[in-house]
Amino acid sequence: MEWIWMIRDEQIIAIKQYVKQLFELDVTGHDFYHMKRVANTAKSIAESENANIFLCEAAAWLHDVGDHKLFQQPKRVMKEMNLFLKTISISDDEVEKINAIIQNISFSKGNIPETLEGKIVQDADRLDAIGAVGIARTFAYGGANGQLIYSEVYQDTSIQHFYDKLLRLKDKMNTERAKQLATERHQFMEQFLEQFHKEW
Ligand code: NI
């Protein structure tokens, strides 16, 4: 069994480097460190849920590859990713599973993935959208997309995004571990919003 884990480690290192060159210059909250946090969280949830750790970690690193918000040619990017995965000896079956997870996360964010691994990566991505990091990413994304912080006139603001989406994520977590992790982050967002409105 030992050699399998050596190969696994090398595959994860190669995936990390691949992801780094793709997302290094992102300023919308989808940078390399978003992928790193999601990968670490997915790995830790996978351990407590007895899921396939390698699939969760690999798919989490790659979960924003081909996202239509971030890439002009999503299909080409996905195709290149699949070719890359084959060059590092990831089996066709695993490439397919990784693709299924990514598609569930990136293209239909409202859907509940069918597999446990998909559910875990979705949880990990959602956890990174809430809490202190989630707050920072919301304003980075808003700024990069020409959105106001807040307005007394317009509805479409970064602050509104908390009410429309972020405050609802806590109740949408799939796994028990993610529900636990979401509680503290959710409370912090509520505290932040209260303070924000007080200062405003
Ligand atoms: Ni993401």
Neighbours of 122 (CB within 10 A): 26
Please report which confidence band the pLDDT of residue 112 belongs to, taking 50, 70 and 90 as the band edges: confident
| Coil vs helix vs strand at 37 | helix
For residue 69, how far is its CA from the centre of ligand 1 (angstroms)? 11
Please report which confidence band the pLDDT of residue 105 belongs to, taking 50, 70 and 90 as the band edges: confident
Neighbours of ion ligand 1 (CB under 5 A): 64, 125
For residue 25, how far is its CA from the centre of ligand 1 (angstroms)? 15
For residue 125, how far is its CA from the centre of ligand 1 (angstroms)? 5
- Distance from the first to the final alpha carbon of the chain: 59
For residue 198, how far is its CA from the centre of ligand 1 (angstroms)? 31
Cβ proximity of 40 and 47 under 8 Å:
no
For residue 29, how far is its CA from the centre of ligand 1 (angstroms)? 9
For residue 38, how far is its CA from the centre of ligand 1 (angstroms)? 7
Neighbours of 178 (CB within 10 A): 24
Helix (H) or strand (E) holding 42: helix 32-49
pLDDT digits (tens, 9 = 90+) for 47-58: 999 999 999 999
Average pLDDT over the chain, rounded to an integer: 94
Average pLDDT over residues 72-90: 96
For residue 152, how far is its CA from the centre of ligand 1 (angstroms)? 30
Q: Which two tokens stand for residue 149?
A: 């912080």
pLDDT in the model for residue 111: 80
